[in-house]
């Protein structure tokens, strides 16, 4: 497999990093950007994707964080981001929410299929309207 073939395969995942820059401290969100929302949860049985699992004081439940893979669907006039989930739900999130992060290069490569399925879901929903 040639270098050019590999680059063409990875281009959709890497292109946003080239256009937005790697060292931007101010997060300028655009429609279609990939995002990870770190959602905190509590339960008696954390799932396999649970991160930073901590037992609560009495030991009956656990507090943990789960990474949610979302795509920016819309940006409202006040700057609020409307995020679309893998199942088509929409959440309104402030752009400076500390739980909202851009995926780094490794995360983009690892979870490309998950982000692409969300992006394709939008195209399917607009095509059926």
Assess whether pLDDT exceeds 60 at residue 125. Answer: no
CB-based contact 50:19 (threshold 8 Å)? no
Q: What is the pLDDT of residues 31-90, one digit of tens each?
A: 888 888 999 888 888 888 888 888 888 778 889 998 898 988 899 999 899 998 888 889
CA atoms within 13 A on the CB side of 34: 26
What is the structure's pLDDT at 92?
A: 95
What is the structure's pLDDT at 91?
A: 93
CB atoms within 10 A of CB 13: 20
CB-based contact 89:125 (threshold 8 Å)? no
Assess whether pLDDT exceeds 60 at residue 25. Answer: no
Domain covering 22-127 assigned CATH 1.10.10 in the classification: no
- Predicted confidence band at 8 (pLDDT cuts at 50, 70, 90)? low
* Domain map (residue ranges) of the chain: 22-127
The pTM of the full predicted model, rounded to 2 decimals, is 0.65
CB-based contact 103:35 (threshold 8 Å)? yes
Alpha carbon distance 47, 36 (integer Å): 17
Mean pLDDT score across all residues of the chain? 78
User: Greater confidence, 16 or 76?
Assistant: 76
């Amino acid at each position: 497999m040639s270098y050019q073939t590999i680059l063409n395969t990875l281009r959709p995942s890497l292109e946003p990093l080239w256009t937005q820059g790697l060292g931007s401290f101010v997060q300028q969100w655009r429609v279609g950007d990939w995002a990870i929302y770190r959602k905190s949860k509590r339960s008696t049985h954390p799932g396999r994707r649970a991160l930073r699992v901590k037992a609560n004081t009495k030991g009956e439940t656990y507090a943990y964080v789960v990474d949610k893979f979302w795509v920016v669907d819309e940006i409202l006039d006040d700057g609020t981001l409307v995020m679309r989930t893998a199942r088509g739900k929409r959440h309104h999130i402030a752009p400076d929410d500390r739980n909202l992060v851009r995926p780094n290069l490794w995360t983009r490569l690892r979870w490309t299929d998950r982000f692409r399925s969300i992006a394709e879901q939008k195209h399917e929903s607009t095509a059926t309207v």
